[in-house]
Amino acid sequence: MKEQTTKLSIKMKRSILNLPAFGKRAFLMAALLSSTSALAQGQSISETEFLVYVVAGMVLITLLAVIATAVYVFRVVNLLTEQAARERAERLGVEYVKEPSIWQRISQKLTRATPIEKEEAILLDHSYDGIRELDNHLPPWWKWLFYGTIIWGAVYLIVYHVMGLLPLSEAEYLAEVERVQAMRATREVVEIDEASLVYTPDAEIISRGQAIFTSNCASCHRNDGGGGIGPNLTDDYWIHGGSLQNIFATIKNGVPDKGMISWAPILKPEEIRDASFYIMSIRGSNVAGGKEPQGELYREELQAVKQDSVVAQINN
Ligand code: HEC
């Protein structure tokens, strides 16, 4: 028994002193941690974010290295003082008794465990097939946790049920529901009637539309609307019609087969209106270096003429 414990303690000491292996493991863990947290973000992490991750990773690795070194130095110093004390005891001809470490003392305070040498005193009389039972204390840490729950229970009862200082879960839930309903009631609902929407060169709407266009549409239609993957929006030729209603409908429904997604799930109706107004404002401006025309010629005046002729035809 005794031989076993000494063997075990020697083994433990060796593994703690085996710093290179420990350092390698710590390094691998830190590298793994920092890389997985970066990967979990997907492809969408920005350059600054990436830099923050790299720096945080470095700091973590350095910190682990410092801690590992400190532990190592502490162990070595401990070992040296222990050795010196042992030698001194030998010289004086007394038996060396190792002092318990801080951790051992704390652990002893928390558990009050009976040392193996004194177990004989708490051994109970019965024996089941050679298995015997020790009458150990309940560990103090466990007892204090238990007393803590009793105290917490009393405080909870008084605060929530006796004095009613804080709301119970049901009241909390109802208050939350009420808060959301109040929020819904005050939310501004912008109804847009696409069919009767009329274009007005409202500078505020157009500049909002331009911002929406720059961040969502410029990648395919170019910053100035001159076209790229998507058609030129500054000429008078339109694949899906050049009226405000046509443009609104194209943005809202998209042309999924041709690579123009439906923006209805992404943009709010008023944002689609703002983008449409912006396109109306650049329509026919024929920016330099724009894409060649696609679709049919569409001009408001032509349309008006067409309408007139339709009316004339009907009248005739
Ligand atoms: C991924 C690329 C892409 C993005 C992003 C994109 N579009 Fe398009 N868009 C296209 C393509 C391609 C077409 C042509 C569809 C076709 O050939 O029928 C098109 C067509 C259009 C048309 C019709 C043009 C015509 O000639 O009738 C409008 C208007 C339009 N886009 C507006 C927008 C707006 C506004 C946004 C941003 C909210 C946007 N697009 C974002 C690719 C894109």
Average pLDDT, the chain: 83
Model confidence at 34: pLDDT above 60: no
Q: What is the mean pLDDT of residues 200-215?
A: 94
- The rounded percent of the chain whose pLDDT value lies above 90 is 54
Decide if pLDDT at 94 tops 80. yes
User: What SS3 state is found at 104?
Assistant: helix
Q: Which of 99, 117, 132 represents a domain boundary (last residue)? A: 99
In-domain check, residue 189: no
Higher pLDDT, 187 or 74: 74
Judged against a pLDDT cut of 50, whether residue 3 lies above it is answered with no
Tell me how many domains the chain contains: 2
List the alpha helices (DSSP H) in the chain.
Answer: 2-17, 19-40, 47-92, 102-111, 140-156, 169-186, 203-216, 218-221, 244-253, 269-282, 300-315
Residue 23 lies in a domain: yes
- Looking at 99, 116, 147, the residue that finishes a domain is 99
Range of the domain at 36: 2-99
Residue 192 has pLDDT above 60, yes or no: yes
Of 115-124, 219-228, 260-269, 281-290, least confident by mean pLDDT is: 115-124
What is the average per-residue pLDDT within 53-73?
Answer: 96
**Cβ pair 199, 279 in contact under 8 A:** no
The answer to whether residue 74 sits within a structural domain is: yes
Assess whether the C-beta atom of 248 lies below 6 angstroms from ligand 1. no
The pair phi, psi for residue 291, each rounded to 5°, is -70, 150
Closest CA to 242 of 214, 272, 280: 280
pLDDT value, residue 22: 53
pLDDT surpassing 90 at residue 9: no
User: Would the CB of 297 count as within 6 Å of ligand 1?
Assistant: no
CA of 307 to the centre of ligand 1 (A): 27
pLDDT value of position 144: 95
Q: Is the pLDDT of residue 14 over 50?
A: no
Task: Determine if ligand 1 sits within 6 Å of the CB of residue 244.
Answer: no
Which residue minimizes the CA distance to atom 32 of ligand 1?
251
Specify which residues 238 forms β-bridges with: 296
**123 domain-assigned:** no
Q: Is 260 in the pocket of ligand 1 (CB under 6 A)?
A: yes
Q: What's 263's domain CATH number?
A: 1.10.760.10
Mean pLDDT of 76-87: 91
Q: Which of these three, 82, 99, 116, is where a domain ends?
A: 99
The pLDDT value recorded for residue 107 is 87
Q: Tens digits of per-residue pLDDT, 256-266? A: 999 999 999 99
Residue 239 lies in a domain: yes
The pLDDT of residue 279 is 95
Q: Flag whether pLDDT at 35 surpasses 70.
A: no
Report the separation in Å between the CA atom of 28 and the middle of ligand 1, taken as the mean of its atom positions.
Answer: 48
